[in-house]
Amino acid sequence: MKSKFRHVALIGKYHTSFNAGTSAPTDVMRDTLMKISSFLLTQGCEVAMESETALHSGISDLPVLDVAAIGAHCDLGLVVGGDGTMLGIGRQLARYGVPLIGINHGRLGFMTDIPLENYEATLRPMLQGAYEEDHRSLMHAKVMRDGECVFDALALNDVVVNRGGTAGMLELRVEVDGHFVANQRVDGLIIATPTGCTAYALSAGGPLLHPSIPGWVLVPIAPHTLSNRSIVLADQSEVAIEIVAGRDASANFDMQSLASLMRGDRIMVRRSQYRVRFLHPRGWSYFDTLRNKLHWNEGVV
């Protein structure tokens, strides 16, 4: 059977695709991308390389498309890398509705969930239409200063307000839908989506949220008051975090964008109109992913 997807964009882990101290592309990543592209061609797909991936991998014998062109012309994005790679391209392609499949060439792989060693056997039925579709909401965050927007970003995992490395605690005013919640003295504060609940929020003691739950979790980092606990919010809410006191504060969006903050700045977070479309192998389960990645049941007979 021919592939259900005619035009496939191949996106690689290009931001770490260079050997340390050299200017030569990493042979392993380049060879991996070429093998996967050859496989896709055998399945009847037309394959293009994402422009940054092509530039940094040294691959020049495939058509090259930037993100906007992928959104206009491709009906599938195949991501080879780790969750960071998927986060980056997922935010960019969400507005175009292009579905994404992830092949794990990183470490944990919560979103890039197909093992590299048997990608052909897993991909073949998926390309023919045997897959599970999984939609993940994005957050739209703005940094407001004196009534002006000074920074604007999307986040798939989380928005994090953090203190500086040598600074003391922050005092943050938290509001939800314009209602005052609390002033918190903390090292930082995380607003995480269900996708991001297995990232920084989990390390800070936050709960896990199933991806189907239309919610966010607000997680304090090292709070001064032990009664200051994580709280689950509806993702229809707008959350505002104001810098009341503290030096060298910053805001991170999926840990890939950074905005330095000043006293009085307000970080406004609401649900984006865009969602990321993930495709998983038929029979995929979120609980299987948790069990495998978090090593549950190890040692249990």
Extents of the domains making up the chain: 7-129, 138-273
Distance (Å, rounded) from C-alpha 176 to C-alpha 231?
12
CATH class of the structural domain 7-129: alpha beta
Predicted confidence at residue 140, as pLDDT, reads: 98
Predicted confidence at residue 24, as pLDDT, reads: 41
Distance (Å, rounded) from C-alpha 131 to C-alpha 125?
8
Q: Around Cβ 178, how many Cβ atoms within 10 Å?
A: 8
User: What are the two backbone dihedrals, phi and then psi, of residue 165, each rounded to the nearest 5 degrees?
Assistant: -65, -35
Give the chain's radius of gyration (CA, Å): 21
Predicted confidence at residue 299, as pLDDT, reads: 66
- Residue by residue, pLDDT tens for the chain (301 residues) are 678 999 999 999 755 443 434 334 467 888 999 999 999 999 999 999 999 999 988 888 899 999 999 999 999 999 999 999 999 999 999 999 999 999 998 777 789 889 999 899 999 999 999 999 999 999 999 999 999 999 999 999 999 999 987 778 999 999 999 999 999 999 999 999 999 999 999 999 999 999 999 999 999 999 998 889 999 999 999 999 999 999 889 999 998 778 889 999 999 999 999 999 999 999 999 999 999 888 898 765 4
* Catalytic sites, residue numbers: 83
Predicted confidence at residue 26, as pLDDT, reads: 65
Q: Does 2.60.200.30 match the CATH number of domain 138-273?
A: yes
